[in-house]
């Protein structure tokens, strides 16, 4: 479990960080909004522990920014304030849980574990790459915010690419996944369908194609 701890109080920060490391949780400790922003820009976390009162701003402001940017990690608000307002505001802004100081380390750990468990059980329903977006529930695809109509096969092919971004997919892998076939002679179907996707998902004045050919092997979603 990788944790981002955003807390300016030295004692609380040390207490939480030490406790988390004792149970083998990698912990990055940010002491200000600025440090927290840098940490999020730099790495991926399974869960964020977020204090509200920070020296250079407010934790709720950070939360708003992250949710706007679609930060996926669950957030637990750590608040010294007893006002119900802050808790409600935090939950409305997309926090997943909160804990009021003072708290026991055991309770914090139990809640973090439960958040991560709950969160990892959720299957991603929206796949994104650059300005390309595929919504599995709505069965919709858009490029730069514009809806693109795809056939079932094209949709399945795009989904496969989006699940494996920046990885070379061989013609055989694609053929097996999309057509459930293993015959070499069928793999030119792959070229035909990739060409269809390319033409439907072309941007004006595009220099780098979305689907790159890897000679003699297959394709890669750039
Ligand atoms: Ca504080």
The tokens of 170 are what?
């061989």
3-state secondary structure of 161: helix
Ordered per-residue pLDDT tens for the chain, 222 residues: 889 999 999 999 999 999 998 887 889 999 999 999 999 988 889 899 999 999 999 999 999 999 888 888 999 999 876 666 777 888 888 899 999 888 999 999 999 988 988 887 666 788 898 889 999 878 899 998 999 999 988 999 999 999 888 889 988 888 878 876 655 555 688 899 999 999 999 877 776 778 899 988 899 998
125 CA distance to ligand 1 middle (Å): 35
114 CA distance to ligand 1 middle (Å): 24
8 CA distance to ligand 1 middle (Å): 5
Q: Which of 103, 121, 139 is the last residue of a domain?
A: 121
Q: What's the first-to-final CA gap in the chain, in angstroms?
A: 29
52 CA distance to ligand 1 middle (Å): 6
DSSP 78-90: EES---HHHHHHH
Q: Which of 86, 121, 156 is the last residue of a domain?
A: 121
Same domain membership, residue 102 and residue 24? yes
Which DSSP letter does residue 203 get?
P
79 CA distance to ligand 1 middle (Å): 8
Region of residue 208 (phi > 0: left; psi between -120 and 50: alpha; otherwise: beta): beta
Q: Any idea which residue has 């849980």 for tokens?
A: 97
- Segments forming the whole domain that contains residue 193: 126-221
The CATH number given to whatever domain includes residue 143 is 1.10.10.10
83 CA distance to ligand 1 middle (Å): 15
Q: Whole-angstrom Cα distance, residue 40 to residue 33? A: 11
Same domain membership, residue 77 and residue 13? yes
Query: Bridge-partner residues for 127, per DSSP?
Result: 134
Q: Which of 48, 52, 42 is nearest to 9 (CA)?
A: 52
Same domain membership, residue 110 and residue 133? no
Same domain membership, residue 13 and residue 63? yes
Same domain membership, residue 144 and residue 102? no
185 CA distance to ligand 1 middle (Å): 65
Q: Which of 85, 102, 121 is the last residue of a domain?
A: 121
Same domain membership, residue 116 and residue 144? no
Number of domains in the chain: 2
10 CA distance to ligand 1 middle (Å): 9
């Amino acid at each position: 479990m990788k944790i981002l701890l955003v807390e300016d109080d030295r004692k609380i920060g040390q207490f939480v960080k030490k406790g988390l490391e004792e149970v083998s949780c990698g912990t990055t400790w940010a002491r200000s909004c600025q440090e927290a922003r840098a940490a999020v820009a730099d790495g991926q976390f399974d869960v964020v522990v977020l204090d509200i009162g920070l020296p250079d701003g407010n934790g709720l402001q950070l939360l708003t920014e992250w949710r706007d940017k679609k930060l996926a990690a669950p957030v637990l608000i750590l608040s010294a304030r007893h006002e119900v307002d802050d808790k409600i505001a935090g939950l409305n802004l997309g926090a997943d849980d909160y804990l009021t100081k003072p708290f026991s380390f055991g309770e914090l750990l139990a809640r973090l574990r439960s958040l991560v468990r709950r969160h990892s059980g959720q299957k991603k329903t929206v796949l994104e790459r650059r300005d390309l977006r595929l919504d599995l529930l709505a069965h919709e695809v858009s490029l730069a915010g514009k809806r693109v109509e795809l056939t079932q096969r094209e949709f399945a092919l795009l989904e496969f690419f989006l699940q494996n971004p920046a990885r070379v997919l061989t013609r055989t892998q694609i053929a097996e996944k999309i057509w459930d076939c293993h015959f070499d002679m069928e793999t030119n179907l792959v070229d035909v369908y990739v060409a269809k996707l390319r033409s439907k998902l072309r941007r004006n004045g595009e220099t780098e194609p979305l689907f790159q050919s890897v000679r003699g092997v297959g394709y890669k979603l750039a």
